């Protein structure tokens, strides 16, 4: 059985993950309102719905990456 420390990501990997999080930045006030609207189940009409869903998916991905980063940092 491998030592658990040997499977931990390297420092460079942490830097890449951090850089990816930074690139995603924080949503603007308008984007936050759109995300809230989406989470409440209100959908825009097509073709705007594609952008709405894309924004929500990006936001969810960023949250998951931040959670993974925090867990790996422990």
In a domain? residue 1: no
In a domain? residue 42: yes
In a domain? residue 5: no
Domain, as residue range, for 42: 12-73
Query: Each residue of 26-58: pLDDT tens digit?
Result: 889 999 898 899 989 999 898 888 989 999 999
Overall domain count for the chain: 1
In a domain? residue 34: yes
Q: Which among 64, 60, 34, 36 is positioned nearest to 49, based on CA atoms? A: 34
> Whole-structure pTM over 0.85, yes or no?
no
Other C-beta atoms closer than 10 Å to the C-beta of 57 total: 11
Query: Each residue of 1-25: pLDDT tens digit?
Result: 555 556 778 889 889 998 999 998 8
* Contact indicator for 13, 64 with CB cutoff of 8 Å: no
Position 2 scores a pLDDT of 56
In a domain? residue 2: no
């Amino acid at each position: 059985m491998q030592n658990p420390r040997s499977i931990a990501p390297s420092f460079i990997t942490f830097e890449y993950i951090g850089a990816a999080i930074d690139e995603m930045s924080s949503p603007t006030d308008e984007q936050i309102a759109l995300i809230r609207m989406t989470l409440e189940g209100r959908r825009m009409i097509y073709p705007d719905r594609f952008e709405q869903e894309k924004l929500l998916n990006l936001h969810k991905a960023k949250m998951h990456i931040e959670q993974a980063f925090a867990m790996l940092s422990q």
